Amino acid sequence: MKYTTKQQLNYTLVLGLLASLGPLCTDLYLPALPELANELQTTTASAQLSLTAGLIGLGFGQLIFGTLSDKLGRMRPLLVSLVVLMAASIWCALAPNIGQLIAARVLQGMAGAGGAVLSRAIARDLYSGHELTRFFGLLMLVNGLAPIFAPVLGGVMLTLMDWRGIFFVLAIISTLLLVLSRLRLNETLPPERRNQGGIISMIKSIGSLFGQRQFMGFCLAQGFVGAGMFAYIGASPFVLQDIYQLSPQMFSLCFAVNGIGLVIAAQTSTRLSLRYGELQVLKFGLGIAGCASLLLLLASALHAPLVVLLVALFFSVIVMGIVAPNASSLAMQNQGNNAGSASALIGVSMFSLGAISVPLTGLKGTSSLSMALTILGCYTLAILCFTLLTKKDPVGKALV
Per-residue model confidence (pLDDT) at position 145? 62
Q: How many residues does the chain have?
A: 400
- Whether 26 is in a domain gets the answer yes
- CATH number, residue 340: 1.20.1250.20
Q: How far apart are CA 252 and CA 272, in angstroms?
A: 30
Per-residue model confidence (pLDDT) at position 140? 62
Q: Which of 320, 232, 306 is nearest to 48 (CA)?
A: 232
Per-residue model confidence (pLDDT) at position 400? 37
- Whether 339 is in a domain gets the answer yes
Per-residue model confidence (pLDDT) at position 224? 95
Under 8 Å between Cβ of 164 and 62: no
- Whether 384 is in a domain gets the answer yes
- Whether 191 is in a domain gets the answer no
Domains of the chain: total: 1
Per-residue model confidence (pLDDT) at position 397? 45
Q: How far apart are CA 220 and CA 162, in angstroms?
A: 37
More confident residue, 209 or 311: 311
DSSP-derived secondary structure letter, 1: -
Other CB atoms closer than 10 Å to residue 178's CB: what's the count? 18
**Domain span at 162:** 5-185+197-388
- Whether 393 is in a domain gets the answer no
- Whether 190 is in a domain gets the answer no
- Whether 395 is in a domain gets the answer no
Compute the average pLDDT of residues 263-276. Answer: 86
Question: CA distances (Å), 161 to each of 156, 165, 166, 243, 365, in order?
Answer: 9, 6, 8, 25, 29
- Whether 25 is in a domain gets the answer yes
pLDDT tens-digit map of 117-159: 888 788 778 777 767 777 776 666 665 566 566 777 887 888 8
pLDDT at 57 over 60: yes
Exposure of 13 in the CB half-sphere (CA atoms within 13 A): 11
Question: CA distances (Å), 146 to each of 26, 164, 170, 260, 318, in order?
Answer: 10, 19, 12, 10, 15
pLDDT tier, 394 (very low <50, low <70, confident <90, very high otherwise): very low
Q: How far apart are CA 377 and CA 383, in angstroms?
A: 10
